[in-house]
């Protein structure tokens, strides 16, 4: 068995003036410059990097100030370029401290590709963590040398400090009533002005349970395959745009033409079969052209590119909100969203996706309606009634969702144009649960109020 070297055995304990501690702390200025330059050349990087990097992660004080100014512009939905950044730094009295316009121009003129930013971020965060570890070690040394500290307390203090380093994003500040009450009362005043706020649904009994889809909520709609998830989402979306709410739809399953077929069948009142066989009557064409004119005035965005990650969806939503406003988002559907980053198993992937969508809803202050599949085993069960736990890979989705709506199965073998079923509010974090009778209009592929309730 090897023995410790004589040098190690004879070395004296480390002290705060040890030469090793007088070296420059771990840092990589090239990686920091590459990140800042990449953002100046491709602002959309901030939609991902803005939540990954803090100003404190940068070693250079100038880089910290530049990143802080970039984040301030990004959070207030302003463009980030040489002109706006220089203006923001000038207003803060920091332009000279960061090297002036010349240094900003040097950053923007970097030849390093913004596509490499994930690698640069990993380097900068690793350096920041190493500096935090050194800082923790020095504080532990101070405590160890301090006779006022009981040695028995040392282990607990060291554990708390190491936990803070490992968590990497520990917020020790919190907020006092002076800080959080003014924004809260402003929120209540805005809520009163809007008559309760949120985006209502077209179903009065459902509104009686949940009132509306509120900003920051993640609403999950679950159903068996071919049991109306997309039809219900489009019913909600058409009602929202009809009330003037800017609406975004992410269709990861259907292409834009398929989606528009459904929307025109529902909105123009043209039978869905006509969009399959192409046998349009003159009246059908008249309805289609009329609906085209109505749709051109609608505050609606449709995104039908497949395999979009949560960070891509978030970036698009931020752009839409900046360009024309955004009140509600629909995503079809959860299991088709690839995760950001790599995960060990599918459960972790779904957990990451679910959490990202919930954080997006909170960050953008809009309700996000996320469609989700239910487990296939449901069809083999004696009772066809869906429950919350039937959501496929559901653990994280159940936890993150503020509202879970389940479309109960119904007999689809009949030939009637109007068929009846229920929407079950299986979970509602801030309101009531219950069943809502609805009618499915098979001819026009939409859900309607159950007239039998009147």
pLDDT at res. 4: 36
pLDDT at res. 393: 63
Indicate the pTM of the whole model.
0.62
- The second-level CATH assignment, the architecture, of 29-167 is Orthogonal Bundle (1.10)
What are the DSSP calls for 116-147, one per residue? Answer: GHHHHHHHHHHHHHHHHHHHHHHHHHHHHH-T
pLDDT at res. 113: 81
Q: How far is Cα 81 from Cα 44, in angstroms, rounded to an integer? A: 11
Q: Which of 193, 217, 238, 253 is catalytic?
A: 253
Q: Which of 406, 404, 402, 399 is nearest to 430 (CA)?
A: 402
293: enclosing H helix or E strand: helix 282-296
pLDDT digits (tens), the chain, 454 positions = 444 333 332 333 444 445 455 567 899 999 999 999 999 999 888 888 887 888 989 999 999 999 999 988 887 778 899 999 999 999 999 999 999 999 999 999 887 887 888 899 999 999 998 888 888 788 778 777 877 766 655 555 565 556 555 555 444 456 677 766 777 777 677 666 656 678 899 998 898 898 889 988 999 998 887 788 899 999 999 999 988 899 999 988 888 888 888 888 888 888 888 888 888 888 889 988 888 888 888 888 888 877 677 877 887 888 888 888 899 999 987 778 877 766 677 777 888 888 888 888 888 889 999 998 887 666 667 777 887 777 766 677 888 889 999 988 877 666 777 888 888 998 888 889 898 998 888 888 888 887 665 5
Q: How far is Cα 3 from Cα 6, in angstroms, rounded to an integer? A: 9
Q: Where are the domains of the chain?
A: 29-167, 191-453
Burial of 241 (0-12, 13-18, 19+ CB in 10 A): buried
Q: Going by CATH, does the domain composed of 191-453 fall within 3.40.50.300? A: yes
The answer to whether the beta carbons of residues 290 and 19 sit under 8 Å apart is no
Residue 142 annotated to the active site: no
Q: Which residues contact 141 (CB under 8 A, 6 or more apart)?
A: 14, 15, 16
């Amino acid at each position: 068995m090897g023995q410790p070297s004589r040098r190690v055995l004879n070395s004296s304990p480390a002290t705060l003036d040890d030469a090793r501690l007088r070296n420059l702390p771990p840092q990589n200025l090239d990686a920091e410059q590459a990140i800042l330059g990449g953002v100046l050349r491709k602002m959309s990087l901030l939609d991902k990097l803005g939540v990954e990097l803090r100003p404190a992660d940068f070693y250079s004080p100038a880089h910290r100030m530049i990143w802080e100014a970039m984040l301030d512009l990004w959070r207030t939905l302003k463009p980030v370029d040489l002109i706006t950044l220089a203006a923001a730094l000038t207003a803060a009295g920091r332009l000279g401290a960061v090297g002036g316009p010349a240094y900003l121009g040097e950053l923007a003129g970097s030849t390093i590709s913004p596509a490499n930013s994930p690698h640069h971020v990993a380097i900068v965060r690793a350096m920041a963590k190493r500096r935090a570890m050194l800082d923790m070690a020095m504080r532990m040394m101070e405590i160890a040398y301090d006779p006022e500290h009981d040695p028995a307390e040392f282990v607990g203090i060291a554990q708390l400090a190491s936990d803070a380093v490992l968590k990497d994003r520990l917020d020790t500040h919190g907020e006092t009533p002076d800080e959080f009450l003014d924004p809260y009362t402003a929120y209540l005043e805005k809520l009163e002005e809007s008559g309760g706020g949120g985006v209502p649904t077209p179903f009065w009994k459902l509104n009686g349970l949940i009132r509306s889809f509120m900003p920051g909520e993640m609403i999950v709609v679950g159903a068996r395959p071919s049991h109306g998830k997309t039809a219900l989402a489009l019913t909600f979306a058409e009602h929202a745009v009809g009330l003037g709410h800017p609406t975004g739809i992410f269709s990861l399953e259907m292409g834009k033409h398929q989606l528009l077929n459904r929307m025109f069948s529902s909105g123009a009142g043209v039978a869905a079969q006509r969009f399959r066989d192409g046998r349009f009557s003159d009246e059908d064409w008249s309805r289609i052209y009329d609906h085209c004119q109505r749709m051109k005035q609608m505050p609606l965005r449709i995104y039908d590119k497949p395999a979009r990650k949560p960070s891509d969806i978030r970036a698009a939503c931020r752009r839409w909100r900046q360009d024309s406003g955004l009140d509600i988002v629909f995503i079809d559907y959860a299991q088709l969203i690839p995760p950001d980053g790599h995960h060990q198993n599918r459960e972790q992937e779904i957990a990451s996706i679910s959490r990202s969508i919930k954080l997006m809803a909170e960050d953008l202050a809009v309700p996000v309606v996320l469609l989700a599949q239910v487990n296939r085993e449901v069809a083999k069960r004696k009772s066809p009634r869906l429950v919350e736990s039937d959501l496929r890979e559901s653990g994280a989705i159940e936890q993150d969702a503020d509202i879970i709506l389940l479309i109960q199965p119904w007999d689809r073998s009949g030939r009637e144009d109007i068929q009846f079923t229920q929407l079950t509010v299986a979970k509602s974090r801030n309101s009531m649960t219950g069943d809502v009778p609805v009618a499915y209009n098979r001819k026009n592929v939409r859900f309607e109020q159950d007239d039998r309730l009147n």
